[in-house]
Amino acid sequence: MRTNRLVLSLLLTAPLCLNVAAQELHDKAWSVLNEGRALWMGSDNAAGLSFDAPAEFNLLDADFSYERGYYRLKQSPKREGELTFDTQGLKKIGKIIAWGRFSYNNSSENGASFNTLLGNPYDERFLYTAADSIEGQWKKQSYLLQFKAALPLGERVSTGLHVIYNDRIAAGQIDPRAESYHYSVSVKPALAWTTDIGTIGLNGIYTNTFERSTPGISNSQEIQKVFLLRGLGNWVGDQVGGSGLSTMYFRCNSWGGGLQYSWNQGWKLLADFGYLTDKTTITESATQPKPHGNTYRQNISGSLSAIWGEKVQHFLRLSAKGVKTKGTEHTVLWDTGSGQWITAMSIDQVMLRSLDASLDWNAYLTDGEAYSWHWGAGAAWEGKDDTYALPHSVFRYGNASLSAVCERRFGFSNSSLTAGLRLRATKNLYGEYSYQGHRGASAPVRDLYPHNLSILAADRLQAGLEVEYAFNVAKGVSLALCAQGSFLTASCDWAYEASGIAHRHRGNALGGVKLYF
Amino acid sequence: MKRILYSLLALCLVISCEETRLPSLVEWRPSIDESALGDVPRPDSYKITVSNIGTEAVEEMVFDALSPQTFELVQGIYNITVQAHGTLGGRAFNYIGTANAVKISPGNTGTTPIKVSASESSALVFKEIHYNASMVKNSASARYLKDTYFEVYNNSEQTVYADGICLGDVLSSRVYDFSDKLPDAANYVFMGTYVWQIPGSGTDYPIAPGESFVIAASAIDHSQTAETLDLSTAEFETICDRYKERGGQPDANAVNMTLVCTIKESGLGNQLGKFTDGAWALFYPSVPLRKDGEYLESNHANNYGLEVLKTDVLDAIDLLKSENPDDKRLESDLDAGWIKCSTTGGNESVVRKISGRRENGSIILQDTNNTTEDFTVSDSPQIRRDGTGRPSWSNWTTAQ
């Protein structure tokens, strides 16, 4: 305890002891405005950075978060601890603007169920997966590497490239368990050119995603039954162990592109439209491939961002995203002649649709390159409409939410303290799960979907606090201690699951340290 | 600018124009071929079971043979089983016909006629089975696994002999495939762990109508140790030198069955190999069985099976651990149904229902080749219930 106090004292008094000349302090407020003002930074078009880039920066962030609570989807853990290390930086090298980022994430989850195979059970492309009702543990690690560069070709034209590599391993700890390996590589080449009427950008996207998940059991005496999910509670039976389910392969190729237009004459505007389509094949076994199904996803997104004002700088963003995922399930037969599984019939049974839209306004009372006050408000809509063709089943809900944020930054000679409060209220407008198939008494229909609907279609209120204390430790280098906490309380309409209203909560806390340099 | 926008829009439309194959409901009319029935009387109606291979949805319907009707099904690939039960002059017949991997879709609603054959009900049938263990006395968690037994009943009008009859556990036909090893694999059922055989010269163990014999894992009084029953009057037990050598297992006075095949050694404390669930077949091999080391490897590496002709099977039963009919191991021509006990260690047995009584009072057991309909679960296992007779040669008590 004494050691802890000593460390804390040293950290808090460091700005006084280091005798650093007063200079611009890089902290959260500086970082938010620096990156937020460069609208192209948030688009898929790296070439636009040539015309509107943030100031050079470097950031190193290490934090630990802990989350727990019973307001959770079945596939989410009751408790989760997560360690994150993140570093990023932007540099101008001659005419080239280069930005890079590396993130490492290590998490430990407890109490998640209905996910036997996947690192991310919510990826709708991987619809045809296995689930079990046993609450298990997962250990997960992921690496995310990103690189973005913009190279101007003359005064008016620029090229750019954004590459993303993601690598993840996940291991279930309780039978039926699985070891999952996942990677994805995205390449986004881009062009941008400036005309008298603004800047126009065009980018392409190609992503290759792969996940391999090998199920297994530790106790070979206890064969574990699993559900091979088909969507909305439909499933077929299999088992893990005893010559049951073998390695599953999820392969996805995505293609798409984006079109951007920006205006920068005193006030800034960026309109960004994107389209992405992908096809995922889901197959069991490499030696005797057994097709389980394909998914086809289309993703359309659009956003309009605007910035205006000087002393009080306003950020407005309107965005919408629609995703449609079609699931084609296969009926396969073993062909003795060829020694292979053959697809005897393919039927489009599942259609998953989601539509999210949001309008966010943020105002910053600027104080040099940072801000002293930040107010914001937002409104959002999230809607889901999933159907299974025959026997007809439906899963849908619609939620509207309002949010508000208020932050105050206290600037000192060599340090700053930023404290903020965030509130979000969500109102459910409708929700429905209806299942007409022959699995009515099974766990996915009885436990999974009704529970998840009661969570997703719950009225809820979330409040969060965040504090960052930053101080200069050397010329151009500042260290920040940050802490965050949030609490969510929900009135889940348990009519979807049983009867009556149940209140469920979830809280999380985060502590970390950042180095701005 | 306009050109770019229109080009992008066109590209999006082209990419999104994929072939859509939405499912539809199909009017399907079964067609039954009764040409193989010969002199056997035609049943008035059949029970048709259609199992969608893709979704595992099962539908049952009664089909009037004289005025065939149509059924509404979701398009798919189906396994179809046609069944009926009938009697003629005191003889009982089971009618069965199957068609596998039948495609039923909007453009393909006609079905090749399902050929139905008739067979006289087997003389020897499973009467009662205790398979899912009981609890050790005064213990809340220790399960007792040695009290498994099979009671086999002579349901016919003639005396039959138990000599040479085999008992084995059957591999799941859904999981294990031997079609690349055996060209006519569909004619066989595959044993997975042990096969035990009743010894004898052929006439050593007569079973008269209305009599039964009991095959016990261990023919001792288990009630001394566990919350279960006394099996010391069982006729046969599945104990062999191998288990005696390992110690801890008394060799009671019951006739020891012969362990003729060890396809896969079980680590369980039960000489029959399985206790929580399984499919079992009683059969009389018409051809010599393969020896150890000669078994066929299935589509799953290092998983072997012993093939037994389906026509050699006297009776077969699917005993499940869960409520999930997808765990069913037997094809429907061997057992169209399944049954499960409520819990492992619950000291329950499955008991065949009684369909009638003979003039001498002996029972006639129900045998429609559908365990779901023919059996019920009893929470008080009992051998030779309902006045079942013991064979004349079984007059000992085997207790040590």
pTM above 0.80, yes or no: no
Contact A333 B76 (CB under 8 A): no
Look at residues A335, A351, A295, A345 and name the one whose alpha carbon lies nearest to residue A127. A295
Any idea which residue has 């992008």 for tokens? B8
Helices (H), B234-368: 241-246
Pairing of β B258-262 and β B188-197: antiparallel
Q: What share of chain A is helix, strand, coil (3-state, %, to 5)?
A: 10, 65, 20
The DSSP code for B293 is: T
Which position has the higher pLDDT, B295 or B396? B295
Q: Cβ–Cβ contacts within 10 Å for residue A237, how many?
A: 19
Q: Chain A contact for B13, CB < 8 A?
A: no
Q: If interface means Cβ-Cβ distance under 8 Å, which residues of chain A face chain B?
A: 200, 202, 221, 225, 230, 234, 236-237, 239, 242-244, 255, 257, 259, 275, 277, 288, 296, 298, 300, 326, 328-331, 333-334, 336, 339, 344-349, 389-391, 437-438, 441-442
Q: Tell me, what's the ipTM?
A: 0.83
Contact B23 A347 (CB under 8 A): yes
A248-269, pLDDT tens digit by residue? 999 999 999 999 999 998 899 9
The DSSP code for B136 is: B
Which position has the higher pLDDT, A11 or A92? A92
Contact B334, B310 (CB under 8 A): yes
Q: Cβ–Cβ contacts within 10 Å for residue A86, how many?
A: 17
Compute the distance between CA of residue B274 and CA of residue B191 in angstroms, rounded to an integer: 12
Taking CB atoms and an 8 Å cutoff, what residues of chain B touch A296? Answer: 18
Which position has the higher pLDDT, A55 or B369? A55
Say whether domain B25-120 belongs to CATH 1.10.150.
no
**B residues 259-278 closer than 8 Å to A (CB):** 267-268
Contact B55 A230 (CB under 8 A): yes
CA distance to partner chain B, nearest, from residue A485 (Å)? 43
Contact A256, A248 (CB under 8 A): no
Minimal Cβ distance to A348: which of B15, B21, B322: B21
pLDDT bucket at A414, cuts 50 / 70 / 90: very high
Nearest CA in chain A to B19: A348
Q: What is the mean pLDDT of chain A?
A: 92
Compute the distance between CA of residue A305 and CA of residue A273 in angstroms, rounded to an integer: 12
A489-504, pLDDT tens digit by residue? 998 775 555 545 677 8
Taking CB atoms and an 8 Å cutoff, what residues of chain B touch A200? Answer: 1
CA distance to partner chain B, nearest, from residue A389 (Å)? 7
Residue A437 has pLDDT above 70, yes or no: yes
B37-83, pLDDT tens digit by residue? 887 888 888 888 888 988 888 888 888 877 778 889 999 999 888 88
Nearest CA in chain A to B275: A221
| CA A67, A70, A73, A74 torsion-angle sign | positive
Taking CB atoms and an 8 Å cutoff, what residues of chain A touch B75? Answer: 345, 347
The amino acid occupying position B223 is: S
Minimal Cβ distance to A344: which of B103, B176, B327: B103
Q: What is the mean pLDDT of residues A453-460?
A: 93
In sequence order, what are the beta bridge partners of A477?
A: A474
Contact A345 B175 (CB under 8 A): no
- Phi, psi torsion values for A224, nearest 5 degrees: -105, 130
Confidence (pLDDT) at A484: 98
Residue B362 has pLDDT above 70, yes or no: yes
pLDDT bucket at A29, cuts 50 / 70 / 90: very high
Domain span at residue A343?
2-516
Taking CB atoms and an 8 Å cutoff, what residues of chain A touch B55? Answer: 230, 234, 236, 437-438
Residue to test with chain B: of A195, A232, A243, most B Cβ within 10 A:
A243
Please tell me the total count of domains within chain A. Answer: 1
Q: Where are the domains of chain B?
A: 25-120, 124-378
Minimal Cβ distance to A349: which of B11, B23, B176: B23
Compute the distance between CA of residue B70 and CA of residue B63 in angstroms, rounded to an integer: 9
Compute the distance between CA of residue B76 and CA of residue A347 in angstroms, rounded to an integer: 9
